[in-house]
A and B are shown apart, each in its own frame.
Chain A
Amino acid sequence: MKIKIRGVRGSIPTADPDTTYYGGNTSCIEVEEEGWRLVLDAGSGMRYSNTGERPDNKRIDILLTHLHLDHIIGLGFFQPLFDPAMEIHIWGPASSKQSLHSRLTRYLSPPLFPVLIRNLPCKLTLHEIDNTEFKIGPFTVQSEYVIHPGPTIGYRITGHHSVFVYLPDHEPALGRTGMLTDPRWISGIRLAKGADILLHDAQYTREEYPFRTGWGHSSMDDALHFATMAGVKHLLLAHHDPDHSDATLNEMFSALQTRHNNPIHHELAVEGMELELP
């Protein structure tokens, strides 16, 4: 399983020179195995995504966690959508009232975007999902609603030998006393259990979090605690705050390591990072 990070910035893309190391593009991750290709979220990093390593690959599955703008802004700039030979499947969270098509159309229609979904030349199929499991080529995908404002799901992607879990926008510590001690009462824990790699929301410092409780994101400390509770092997801290420069992120991570002598392999996600699992 190959994982390529195309965007790890949270909330809004940044172009500041002091954010270029970790990257300014919003959420987008590519996952490949046996030529099958998943694209997780459609943030601005999606502009750099394409058909993958196999030019004969005519199918791409886009898995959206939710429809906040930083997770779909790249959709209209994803070239395979404009290729009539391409078969594109978009999977996204079901809402209790509005269809996925209707919600995506809010962005993919004038005046916000010049092209309507129905005018996209690719063969497009939309899938509304909730707490479920489905197969895409060699991948088994489990989806589950997690704590974040609006319908939001996390993904557990199981390949032949490895598990990658994607929870870029997630606030498991929401509540009066923070994250509960019983794992049955922690959002997303079932998805993350024993993952080889978990990419998790870590937008804030622990000092910032109390002022942003309920915004749907986590502190680095809570992300590390969540990964520990889930028995994750490798944690990628992501969804970097747009106001956090590279230097600030380095300071935050250094402080995190000073506070916690945690044996889990953890690091900050970097745009352009490539990882390979057996």
Chain B
Amino acid sequence: MPAYEIEIILNRQLADCLSIPVFITDTAGNLIFYNEPAEEILGKRYEETGEMPVEMWGTIFKPIDEAGHLLAPDDLPLVKTLRNCRPYHKIFLIESLKGTIEKISVTSYPILGRSGKFLGAVAIFWELKDDEN
């Protein structure tokens, strides 16, 4: 039976207790868990969608820069974390499902087990007020 490593399980259990949106992916970028605050951003409920392949959830957000230009996937923190197994941080705008533009700060980090094995990644979305940057 395929089962997740405890490092992934513990990250999920932590995310489940937080009030900030948290997304957890496997090493390929497939979304394997998102918490309740993240459900508001995605406009979907984890209980209903379950896991989502990278092709599906990667298109839900429309990340743009201050000038309104679409950001390349390679500029996004989570994509960089998945590629390089390093933490990244970036502030950018997203066009939400409701069509509104929201400024967010994204922190991503790799889940590296005790043996150093790369197991997945976490992205935390910090919602910013207009006067924050």
Contact = CB atoms under 8 A, between A and B. Distances in A.
B12 interface: yes
B13 A145 contact: no
A189 interface: yes
Interface residues of A, number: 21
A185 B10 CA distance: 9
B12 A189 contact: no
B99 interface: no
A193 interface: yes
Nearest to B13: A175
A145 B111 CA distance: 15
B6 interface: yes
Given A95-B114, A96-B116, A176-B17, A185 B9 contact: yes
A146 B7 CA distance: 9
Contacts of B5: 131, 145
Contact of B16 (A130, A147, A177, A184): A177
A151 interface: yes
B67 interface: no
Interface in A151-188: 151, 174-177, 183-187
Contacts of A146: 6
A176 B10 CA distance: 11
Contact of A183 (B3, B10, B17, B114): B3
Contacts of A185: 3-4, 9, 12
A68 interface: no
B1 A193 contact: yes
A190 interface: yes
Contacts of A176: 13, 16-17
Nearest to A172: B9
Interface in B85-115: 113-115
Given A95-B114, A130-B114, A151-B114, A190 B16 contact: no
Interface of B: 1-7, 9-10, 12-13, 16-17, 113-116
Interface of A: 94-96, 130-131, 145-147, 151, 174-177, 183-187, 189-190, 193
